[in-house]
Amino acid sequence: MSKILETSIVSRNAALKILLAVLKDGQSLSSLNHLTENLDPRDASFARMLSFGVLRFYEQLQAELKPLLKKQLKAKDLDIQLVILIALYQIIFTRVPDYAVVDAAVTQLRKSKKKWAANMANAVLRNFIRQQENQTEKQVSEEAEYSHPEWIIKRLKSDWPELWKEILQANNVQAPMTLRVNQQRSNIDCYSQTLESEFDLQVEKIDGAPDALMLSEARDVKQLPGFSEGWFSVQDAGAQLAARLLNPEPGEKVLDACAAPGGKTAHMFELQPDIKLTALDISQTRLQRVEENCQRLGFEPKLIAADAVAVKDWWQGELFDKILLDVPCSASGVIRRHPDIKHLRRAEDIEQLVKVQRDILIKNWEILKPGGRLLYATCSIFKVENEQQIEWFLQNTADASLVDFTDWKLPERQSESHGSEFPHASVGKQLFPVSFVNDGFYYALLEKTG
């Protein structure tokens, strides 16, 4: 076996493990870095590309595979199915020669415990290639056409009838890598010049996100200058709006109530280091990431591992000037960055998420000073988690008023202008993943009037 093919099998086996962990065991991609950390960087990158690709286009790939099988595979043979789907993904979406893809998939199965499947996979893949050469337009379901579960398609059609197709298509495009330059340790002009001159890396500033630099291609952060020194963090341009909307002032007592992994916590310090910031998260493990990220950037928030709803268990009696509630949500706005969301979220999850969001909002409103401001944030594009949630809260909370920031400029490329083309939320601001610049986020800024 050639060295190239042997390396390819290593990557494919890692991709298979990732896919099984997501689709069989229900684990998130963000928890599976250990499956590639011991691989050569190129092999690890290839494994991630394959696994992310299959998760992105799973429904389409399944629709292609089904008619090719004389007999549907059993649940216990999900691994065989995934080996074939990996190969189909490569044949359809990459430039790897078809013969090399088939050879690699067959070899992978022959070296597995299910050698019997190698000939079947060979026949299926070669049949697909023959059909593809004479392909005519086929009738496919919307799930297969847009590679999304039916329940997500239905909800987006209902919520955003003018934009649902564009959202689904955008979700299947790889998100850009965007940096947030730490103003306390560098500045955006100097750092962009460093990347362009010393690393031959094209970068782009983003209107509406003055700390953001979008890279022309993704890079390992540890290979970029100043990472260990805290010059920058990786953060989507849409997520960078949160700290600026909350606008912490010197001496203010600020709460980040669902803080992990700490990007927004750190950004508030970067904008105003003279604040008393408490970072709270229900997970001690995830809170450790907040601590690590802030230490690298040079900040020390007060850390509390507790449930944001159970305020009495951790609150020490002093009201907050500002509160950031980046609440648990469906994450429907960041599918292009986390394609496993399509497979891990269920329609029935939404009702429970809305209840949790509402409970967090009600309880944390109680510990906000009169005249203080609370920013409600999600990475969702579902109205029930966003504008409908805030409409309910405003109707049922006498001392809450909405702060208008409709004149805020949303992130966009300096060479383009998209904002006026997108539909608007009834209250607050909805960002969509349709432009190449940002993921889908929702923000509503509330002020306590009593």
Among all residues, which ones are annotated catalytic?
379
Answer yes or no: are the C-beta atoms of 406 and 385 closer than 8 Å.
no
Measured CA angle at 307 (ends 305, 309), to 5 deg = 150
> What does the block give as tokens for 40?
């050569």
Report CA Rg, the chain: 24
Secondary element (H or E) of residue 373: strand 368-378
Which residues, at least 6 apart from 31, have a Cβ–Cβ distance to it below 8 Å?
none
Distances (CA, A) of 372 to 74, 369, 445: 57, 5, 11
> What does the block give as tokens for 380?
């969702």
Phi/psi for 251 (5° steps) reads: 80, -5
Q: CA 72, 74, 75, 77: dihedral to nearest 10 degrees? A: -100
Strand partners, 212: 180
Amino acid at 353: L
Q: Cα separation of 400 and 392, whole Å?
A: 11
Answer yes or no: are the C-beta atoms of 205 and 192 closer than 8 Å.
yes
In three-state secondary structure terms, 259 is coil
Amino acid at 417: S
Amino acid at 201: L
Which residues, at least 6 apart from 225, have a Cβ–Cβ distance to it below 8 Å?
194, 195, 198, 199, 231
Q: Cα separation of 323 and 254, whole Å?
A: 6
State the distance between the two ends of the chain, measured CA to CA, in whole angstroms.
Answer: 74
Answer yes or no: are the C-beta atoms of 89 and 61 closer than 8 Å.
yes
Q: Cα separation of 38 and 445, whole Å?
A: 44
